Structure 1
């Protein structure tokens, strides 16, 4: 029989400091939640991958905070 191919779900999350934000054109960031809490929502939705863009680090030209990324990765079951 034919297999049904489902689209892959790959959310893109914008990180600024310790918080997730939403933007329009990467301007005027608005808080949407704590990264670790939001990851649990995506675990429940069974997304295939996550893309995390650290727009705060990119803007200030500092390295991404590996401690926070490790906490997020530990929480993700993706």
Structure 2
């Protein structure tokens, strides 16, 4: 298989693993915030949660793009 295809497979696998971890963290943070009111003095925590959600969205879009490329070029990802 061509080098770029192997790199795409490796990148997809690594991104998927990182995305799953980030998603779990985001879910835990959201649950914690809903169970106990978020303190106003922790504005930076709120900003961090917001940025992590944005990061998860961007990573999800990128993973989808890699998935589309793999499909177009007949690359088996799993």
Normalising by structure 2, report the TM-score: 0.28
Higher fraction of helix:
2
Q: Which has the higher strand share?
A: 1
Greater radius of gyration (CA) = 2
